[in-house]
């Protein structure tokens, strides 16, 4: 089984036990559920911001432990101060050392959009994302059918959430687009074998329909790469490891932004 299949198999077990513990009705009564959300499109097109979606990521399947010595509050407020257009917070525990509480903590101290970075395989997780404080949900084409993407995106929009479709190749893009998606993200990392190439974004940029904003995800470590990606039409850039690898990720982002 490749890593993505392993993650999805584990996610199905997690969702089943979450449903047994907390009903959808109880989720909807949670404190974070009835609130205004921040729009990803609005923040990505605000030219006072950097276009960077900065990620809080302690560990990953491809790199192991990246940084488990910093708090989600200090890192995410540092990112916001450095001009992040949005934040990405991992809530997957078993593969990324993330937690739902990380998202709750990030929400409490930030006023910019937050992506629940997780593997959405059930409508329950979309409702849960809103209750935890997220503004954006990620729909990964590599692990969802077009019908699931459509259903999840419709539900997310009905809850006021922004929707980010993630693709890695032309086939995933062509079968997954629908009108309920706000932004298309091209993951430069192949989630099945961990190979990375910025060329993936460059090749797909011209075939993403113009009604969707575009973001490039993963393996971005140089300001020059952002300049190149902007020149081919990308509006946003998801960066995790490059900042998280340092002792002060917020400061690392501020230094990176000076060179843009
Ligand atoms: O990062 C991984 O190893 C990984 C493995 C399997 C599924 C997903 C994975 N990463 C999720 C991401 O998309 C990245 O965390 C995100 O784009 C940031 O990437 P980076 O800047 O390279 O940390």
Rounded-to-integer distance, Cα 6 and Cα 78, Å? 33
**Reported CATH class of domain 3-258:** alpha beta
pLDDT digits (tens, 9 = 90+) for 47-86: 999 999 999 999 999 999 999 999 999 999 999 999 999 9
pLDDT at position 259 is 95
pLDDT digits (tens, 9 = 90+) for 103-141: 999 999 999 999 999 999 999 999 999 999 999 999 999
Catalytic (active-site) positions: 55, 57, 117, 166, 187, 217-218
* 28 Cα: distance to centroid of ligand 1 (angstroms): 30
Rounded-to-integer distance, Cα 52 and Cα 229, Å? 12
Q: What's the rounded mean pLDDT across residues 140-162? A: 98
pLDDT at position 38 is 98
pLDDT at position 154 is 98
From the alpha carbon of 60, which atom of ligand 1 is closest? 3
Q: What's the rounded mean pLDDT across residues 234-255? A: 98
Q: What's the whole-number average pLDDT of the chain?
A: 97
Domains of the chain, residue spans:
3-258
Rounded-to-integer distance, Cα 71 and Cα 105, Å? 10
Tell me the best of 89, 240, 241 to mutate to test the pocket of ligand 1, counting ligand atoms within 8 Å of each CB and taking the most: 240
Helix boundaries (H) for the chain: 3-21, 24-28, 40-44, 72-81, 100-109, 123-132, 146-158, 170-176, 199-205, 223-231, 241-244, 249-258
- The pLDDT of residue 192 is above 90: no
pLDDT at position 223 is 98
pLDDT at position 31 is 72
pLDDT at position 255 is 98
Rounded-to-integer distance, Cα 126 and Cα 47, Å? 29
Q: What's the rounded mean pLDDT across residues 240-253? A: 98
pLDDT at position 33 is 84
pLDDT above 90: percentage of residues in the chain: 96
From the alpha carbon of 55, which atom of ligand 1 is closest? 18
Contacts of 231 (CB under 8 A, 6+ apart): none
pLDDT at position 1 is 87
pLDDT at position 16 is 97
From the alpha carbon of 217, which atom of ligand 1 is closest? 17
Q: How confident is the model at residue 32 (pLDDT cuts 50, 70, 90)?
A: confident
Tell me the best of 90, 191, 226 to mutate to test the pocket of ligand 1, counting ligand atoms within 8 Å of each CB and taking the most: 191
Q: Which residues line ligand 1 (CB under 6 A)?
A: 3, 55, 57, 60-63, 187, 189, 191, 194, 217-220, 238-242
Q: What's the rounded mean pLDDT across residues 232-247? A: 98
Q: What's the rounded mean pLDDT across residues 209-231? A: 98
* 206 Cα: distance to centroid of ligand 1 (angstroms): 23
Residues in the chain, overall count: 260
């Amino acid at each position: 089984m490749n890593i993505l299949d392993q993650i999805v198999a584990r996610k199905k077990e997690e969702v089943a036990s979450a449903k047994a513990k907390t009903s959808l009705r109880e989720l909807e009564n949670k404190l974070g559920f009835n609130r205004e959300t921040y729009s990803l499109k609005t923040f990505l097109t605000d030219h006072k911001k950097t276009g960077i979606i900065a990620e809080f990521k302690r560990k990953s399947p491809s790199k192991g432990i990246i940084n488990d010595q910093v708090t989600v509050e200090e890192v995410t407020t540092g990112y916001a101060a450095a001009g992040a257009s949005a934040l990405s917070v991992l809530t997957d525990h078993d593969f990324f050392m993330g937690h739902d509480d990380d998202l709750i903590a990030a929400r409490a101290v930030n006023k910019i959009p937050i992506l629940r970075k997780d593997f959405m395989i059930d409508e329950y997780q979309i409702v849960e994302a809103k209750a935890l404080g997220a503004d954006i949900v990620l729909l990964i084409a590599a692990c969802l059918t077009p019908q699931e993407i459509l259903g999840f995106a419709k539900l997310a929009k009905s809850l006021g959430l922004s929707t980010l479709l993630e693709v890695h190749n032309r086939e995933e893009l062509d079968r997954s687009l629908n009108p309920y998606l706000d932004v298309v993200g091209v993951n430069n990392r192949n989630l099945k074998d961990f190979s990375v190439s910025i060329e993936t974004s460059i090749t797909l940029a011209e075939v993403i329909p113009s009604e969707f904003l575009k973001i490039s995800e993963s393996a971005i470590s140089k300001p020059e790469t952002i300049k190149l990606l902007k020149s081919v039409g990308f509006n946003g850039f998801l960066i995790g490891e490059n900042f998280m690898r340092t002792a002060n990720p917020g400061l690392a982002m501020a230094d990176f932004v000076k060179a843009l």
